[in-house]
Amino acid sequence: MINVETKYAGLTLRNPIIIGSSGLTNKAEHNKRLEEAGAGAIVLKSLFEEQIELQSDSLMQNSDSPEAADYIYSYVKTNQINQYLELIEKSKEVCTIPIIASINCYKSDAWIEFARQIEAAGADALELNVFFLETDLTADADSVEERYIKLIRRVKETVSIPVMIKTSKMQGNIPALAQTLTVNGADGLVLFNRFYQPDIDIFKQEVTSSNIFSNPADLSDTLRWTAILSGKIPGISIATSTGVHDWESVIKCLLAGADAVQICSAVYQQGQEIISQMLTRLEEWMSQQNYQNISEFKGKLNYANIPNPTLYERSQFMKYYSKRE
């Protein structure tokens, strides 16, 4: 009997497919349908602190009373947070799979306030969607790491549910950061978040946005870092996110060492049927390979378990290019 149960960041999932934070997961009824379609867990759409501020700013522009500013900000904030807490409560009412809340804030005090309320609303875990893109020429690399450390420590002091950090691949030393986060209490790491992708319209000569969705070629970086981190950092728990569009990619992520696999663009583009397709083919593959449980092959091809771990490192590109005519 094939068993696809997996443990991720202290949660037990009936299978490794998690629906990534997005508009797909912003309503309890959507989440119920995703559970029925086979999902192992759901990460709710993020609560964005920045969005709360933008909405208050636009309301304030329409107000001729500057004294109203504080009131408007606090009204918008309370309203948005309450809606989010309601999303958690309703999703928990209609789903049996774990519901992971997600917050995206950029001031560390706000993270703490949200985290406490989210736990009280019944979320099974909390994913912190963190993206500090350092562009200050005078900032040193340690300052970004210190912000992450401060954040995870404070959130872990505040809540007792598992806390995952969804991080960016635009970091100086990803393994060092991952190790620091794990040592400082992160229960899981989500590799990676994906934000606004800038592009340039050459005819209008304007900066535009492109590629809201990932594509299968994005998987390569996800695999590389999953394999390296899972091979180097004992006890780390990883969910991949970015570039998983088919069942083969799910298996690749598990072989690289992921405990779970988040999907988002694939569901937008192929519909929620992709979830059961991925699970059916995963089970078929496990049966062909004589695996009963995911633990029998998880991490089999990570950095620590292959004879030539440099295959995950950059020097191999040079060999490839030097052979290519």
Ligand X SMILES: Cc1cc2nc3c(=O)[nH]c(=O)nc-3n(C[C@H](O)[C@H](O)[C@H](O)COP(=O)(O)O)c2cc1C
List residues near ligand X by CB under 6 A. Answer: 20-23, 45-46, 102, 129, 166, 193-194, 212-214, 241-244, 263-266
Burial of 315 (0-12, 13-18, 19+ CB in 10 A): exposed
253/188 Cα distance (integer angstroms): 15
> Smallest distance from the beta carbon of 176 to ligand X, in angstroms?
22
> Smallest distance from the beta carbon of 325 to ligand X, in angstroms?
33
> Smallest distance from the beta carbon of 22 to ligand X, in angstroms?
4
Q: Which backbone phi and psi does 189 adopt, to 5 degrees?
A: -125, 135
Angle at 147 between CA 146 and CA 149, to 5 degrees: 60
Asked if 233 and 179 count as a contact pair (C-beta separation under 8 A), the reply is yes
Decide: helix, strand or coil at residue 310: helix
- 120: which residues sit within 8 A by CB, 6+ positions away? none
Residue closer to ligand X (CB basis): 11 or 44: 44
193/242 Cα distance (integer angstroms): 7
> Smallest distance from the beta carbon of 21 to ligand X, in angstroms?
4
Determine the residue type at 248.
E
Rounded (10°) angle between helices 68-94 and 108-120: 40
Helix or strand holding residue 188 (H, E): strand 188-191
> Smallest distance from the beta carbon of 155 to ligand X, in angstroms?
15
Residue closer to ligand X (CB basis): 34 or 72: 34
> For the chain, what percentages of helix, strand and coil (3-state, to nearest 5) are there?
50, 15, 35
210/201 Cα distance (integer angstroms): 10
Residue closer to ligand X (CB basis): 45 or 72: 45
Asked if 126 and 105 count as a contact pair (C-beta separation under 8 A), the reply is no
> Smallest distance from the beta carbon of 310 to ligand X, in angstroms?
27
Residue closer to ligand X (CB basis): 72 or 227: 227
> Smallest distance from the beta carbon of 30 to ligand X, in angstroms?
13
> Smallest distance from the beta carbon of 51 to ligand X, in angstroms?
9
